[in-house]
Structure 1
Amino acid sequence: MNLKQIISFILILFFTLSGYSQSYNQLIHLAKKHADRNDFLTAGQLMESAYTQSPTPIIAFQCAEYYFNGRNFQKAERFYRKVILSDKQNFPMAYYKMATAEKYLGKYTTAAKNFWRFFFRFPNEDPELIKIAQYQKYSCEEIFTHTYEVQDLQITPFSTANSDYSEFQAEEITRDSLLFSSYRPRTDNDTAEFYAAIYGLKNGSVSLFDTTINFRNAHIPNFYYDDSLKLLLFTACKETEKGRHCYIYQSKFEGNRFSHPQKLNSSINYQGSNNTQPFLAKINNGYYLFFASNRTGGFGKYDIYYSSINDEGDFSIAVNLGKNVNSPLNEITPFYDVRNKELYYSSQWFVNFGGYDIFKSHGEIGNWEQPENLGLPVNSSYDDIFYSQNERETKAYFSSNRLVNPDDESQCCNNIYAIQLKAEEPPPVPKEVIISRMKKDLKLMVPLTLY
């Protein structure tokens, strides 16, 4: 149980002991209040208390929704099932959401049956949702056979970066340092305010990254740093009454400090859309920015786009990577391996194990092959995102909310994992050391008669 879950448990205990549980209406009100702050686990627990007083399908459905949004899929499945047992006709989404929760839990056979029940019993539901349910049924049936195919890979939690909260992206800068993003209090004295921010890890020590980049009152959930260009690209998200708005910024490292961040132009930060997860790649002597966006005109929700950069640093109009990469659902977190011409990204579509799986598509700009699932154990039935590799191709990183402790019910929080791709070669010997050794060897070769 992580710290946020402990806090939620204490809150529920407090409400119960102080008599709050006696007021059904107050429990409903408090649950909505926590849900409005995206604290869905506490909202689910409060609604569960309300359900004990009034076990109606409406309350069960709302409880399941809160748990689903809080990524406690075990409890979500349980309460969707209560809805269906009470009322099989008036809650079609209970079938769809229960099947989705079951896929997250790796219950592929049961999930396939409930996706089928959804589109068979409710054919007049949203046609797009019917299409997704039909494909998810197919995906569950196909992926089941792949659960027996587990690659021999060494995957370990990146414990020096991980915390009781959530960690997302990691990018190795040198052999002993990396940057990563995390959703946690930015200071020990600010435990009530949670923000995503960039952190540095060097020689096992974690510190908050430059405050020029980590704005106040904004989430900084992802980034990309190009050491050759001394350029940092990152996303800043702010909450408003109309929802969360995310934009991509850039900052140059000049004079031993980062410059004031500049928002990228409207080709990238398209009006009315969220734009996030930048990745810069040098392909055929040109620079290209890959990123995810939910702008209109795409194939689904979030799609992956690219934009070329000219010599003046201006970005061209963004282009969708096309239907071989994008889908009716979400594609996010692009990473391009220039050497092997492989685009890695996460998708909720295609044949997958559940949630987001990591895929790779071979190709270059304008020509992408069908994606290949990275398989087990890289992927899981939960959300696996932000795949990246170091330059030496010896290690890869990704983020996942897979279960670490089998006793935990909630998959609320992400951790960073490291994959050992191949043995690490020793670091190159510095030039001055080589010269010193050569002088020593030459000295030993000089004939004794010269002394």
Structure 2
Amino acid sequence: MIKRILILILVLVQTAMFAQSKLMQKADIYFANYSYAGAIPLYEKHLKKNSAEVDAIKKLADSYFLTGNFSRAEFWYEKLMIYRDQVENIEDYMFRYSQSLKAFRQYKKADEWMEELGKINPEDRRYQLYKGNPQYLEIIEMNSDRFIAVNSPFNSRYNDFSPTFFNNDILFSSSMAEKSARKVRSGWSNQPFLNLYVYSNGKLSTLKGDVNGSGHESSAALSPDGTTLYFTRSTNSINTGKGILKIYMAKLQGSQWKNITEVSFNSEDFSTAHPTIDKTGKRLFFASNREGGFGESDLYEVEILGDGIFGEPKNLGPAINTEGRESFPFISSTNRLYFSSNGHPGLGMMDVFTCDFEKPNFQVYNIGEPVNSTKDDITFIVNEADKNGYFASNRDFGKGAYDIYQFNRKEQLRTDCESVVIGSIVGADQKNLIKNATVTLKDLNGNVLGSSKSDGSGSFSIPTSCFVGQQEVIVERDGYEKSVTTIKVSIKTPEVETQITLNEVAPLLYKDLITTMNLAPVTFGDKNTKLNEDSLSVIDAVVKVLQDNPSVSINIRSHTDLRRNYTFNLSLSRKRANVIKNYIVRKGISSDRLLTEGMGEIELKVNCGFKVRCSEEIHKQNRRIEFVVVSK
């Protein structure tokens, strides 16, 4: 009987395990095909019985993130961080966790996770952009309130985005239901598939012709002559069977858009989407996740050589593209590039950025609130002459999931921030004004921002950028110790004043730095040449003196105690002196500035004599190192 019960329990357990396995397999199929809305309830159900399964947690967090449910994404990314040592490419998940936190204005915690990302991969471009912009929230605030934005009258309760100037009308993409009540829904968002619509004189209509099909149609761009429409369409890859995006062309025939063809730079291996055209009609810009890019999706440009003939796509480079996602480009009539990104520092998720991308050393700027928010802000377009335009966002309190907003621009964006560091240099007595001191301003990465000399009254002034944030003021003058002072330059305090005190270098010639600087003794173990760990910081202090005073040389004098014989002690002291010399050379000091002298037992600090037994403390005093300054 017991045997039958055990067999029954085993069968039930195996059945439950099989059911869970089938559930996970089904969820993974939905996830692999971007059907996140279908995957979410399956992962949730699976995790109720398998709460620590990392792969399911990871995919559920991503599913919520990609469908815009950032509250649930934050919850599951936080849980994933418990198991972060088990996750491959954890930097990507840390970044999405940081983005999810920003969606609820938890900027301090979001920045803490960017710091964690940097510890794992300091070369990550997203981390470097964050670290290089410590004032990013202040800079965003500086450019905020330059627009007045309101919800557009043609929004529906579905997804509405990708507005495009369409002669005197607005062309946009929407998943709004039509009279035919399209039942087919996207597995990604669980909304009807997207079509292109025209808003003209207060009336709404579908785009005429053959552009709208059975899949998604979105993100269109009209050629300057009004005869060619480029647009994005979803399709399934012939190679993988998975959904991808492609750019298509349509030609105007009467009032109908016909003759639909693919552009030549599409591929079955990656997505190509979201076209925009410059005012000359000779260059097309787009987004793609093709191989060779910098991140999840990059911005590219391609030359239009003729009707349906294109050059080779060219990546817009790392100043624009990050390891995150750059998408939805727009080129204005003044040749400014606007685009959305989650890789550049922003308020959260996708923000709108702008740059004069063809100028040398251009900078990328966040255009601030109210265009940007803690949620996705995308598909920005602007009429530079009329100072108005449109963008889309899934921010709170809209009519639908994504809404289109129209705006008027009140002021131009501020793209510079001039500042000045002014100060005076005095001696230790606070009275002696020090002239001809060299003052160098650097950022925390060591890049020189400017330099100057102090004048006859000890004063200096160096112009700088208040975008840099923390900066170092380095002052050097012969006969004085080098000074390094950290200051903070900000948008709110563009002028920074500082007074720097220089201390005279004490006369050091023929003196021991250990005694002069009141340093702890350098120690070795008894009868060996291995430096004790505590002594390294003492030697580093000597190295600092040598770095700050390039004309100084030293003699490293090594002494032993009285134990063992004369020959052994002399050899041991020479070896110890050379160990220290080699350590200092490895720190970047030229060996030409370092003499060594093994003194053995001939200069005892405390001589007990031959008939007195020395204490261990006296042996330690005798077993010493001296760093004697021999030239200056």
The answer as to 2:285 corresponding to 1:297 is: no
Q: Hey, what does 2:243 align to over in structure 1? A: 244
Q: Hey, what does 1:370 align to over in structure 2? A: 363
Q: Hey, what does 1:360 align to over in structure 2? A: 354
| Runs (5+) with no aligned partner, structure 1 | 1-22, 424-451
Amino acid at match of 2:349: G
- What CA deviation, in whole Å up to 9, does each residue of 1:259-281 have, x standing for no partner? 3112222xx32563322112122
- What CA deviation, in whole Å up to 9, does each residue of 1:401-438 have, x standing for no partner? 22226xx9xxx932211112369xxxxxxxxxxxxxxx
Q: Hey, what does 1:102 align to over in structure 2? A: 101
CA gap 1:243/1:396 in 2 versus in 1, 3 angstroms: same
Q: CA deviation at 1:394?
A: 3.6
- The within-5 A match list for 1:257-406 is 257-265=256-264, 268-269=265-266, 272-283=269-280, 287-310=282-305, 314-338=309-333, 340-364=334-358, 369-390=362-383, 392-404=385-397
Q: Hey, what does 1:181 align to over in structure 2? A: 173
> How far apart in 2 are the matches of 1:277 and 1:260?
20
- C-alpha contact (below 8 Å) 1:116/1:133 kept by paired residues: no
Amino acid at match of 1:419: F
The answer as to 2:70 corresponding to 1:73 is: yes
- Provide TM-score, normalisation by structure 1: 0.73
Q: CA deviation at 1:107?
A: 1.4
Q: CA deviation at 1:224?
A: 0.8
Amino acid at match of 1:387: F
- State the identity %: 24
The answer as to 2:201 corresponding to 1:208 is: no
Q: Hey, what does 1:153 align to over in structure 2? A: 147
The answer as to 2:40 corresponding to 1:48 is: no
- What CA deviation, in whole Å up to 9, does each residue of 1:118-164 have, x standing for no partner? 453xx3xxx59x6146336537853333464431421112141x222
| CA RMSD between the two structures | 3.4
- C-alpha contact (below 8 Å) 1:348/1:357 kept by paired residues: yes
Q: CA deviation at 1:61?
A: 4.3
- C-alpha contact (below 8 Å) 1:200/1:207 kept by paired residues: yes
Q: Hey, what does 2:196 align to over in structure 1? A: 198
Amino acid at match of 1:103: K
- C-alpha contact (below 8 Å) 2:47/2:53 kept by paired residues: no
CA gap 1:64/1:43 in 2 versus in 1, 3 angstroms: same
Amino acid at match of 1:342: R
- Identify the structure with the greater helix proportion: 1
Amino acid at match of 1:107: Q
Q: CA deviation at 1:381?
A: 2.3
CA gap 1:44/1:334 in 2 versus in 1, 3 angstroms: same
Q: CA deviation at 1:209?
A: 1.4
More RCO (CA 8 Å, sep 6+): 1
Q: CA deviation at 1:88?
A: 6.3
CA gap 1:33/1:398 in 2 versus in 1, 3 angstroms: same
Q: CA deviation at 1:39?
A: 4.3
3-state SS of paired residue (1:79) = helix
Q: CA deviation at 1:304?
A: 2.1
CA gap 1:57/1:356 in 2 versus in 1, 3 angstroms: same
> How far apart in 2 are the matches of 1:183 and 1:373?
29
- C-alpha contact (below 8 Å) 2:137/2:346 kept by paired residues: no
| Runs (5+) with no aligned partner, structure 2 | 1-18, 186-191, 412-632
- Provide TM-score, normalisation by structure 2: 0.54
> How far apart in 1 are the matches of 2:87 and 2:308?
52
> How far apart in 2 are the matches of 1:271 and 1:79?
33
> How far apart in 2 are the matches of 1:62 and 1:257?
43
3-state SS of paired residue (1:398) = strand
Q: Hey, what does 1:6 align to over in structure 2? A: none
CA gap 1:55/1:185 in 2 versus in 1, 3 angstroms: same
- What CA deviation, in whole Å up to 9, does each residue of 1:387-408 have, x standing for no partner? 1124752421111122226xx9
Q: Hey, what does 1:434 align to over in structure 2? A: none
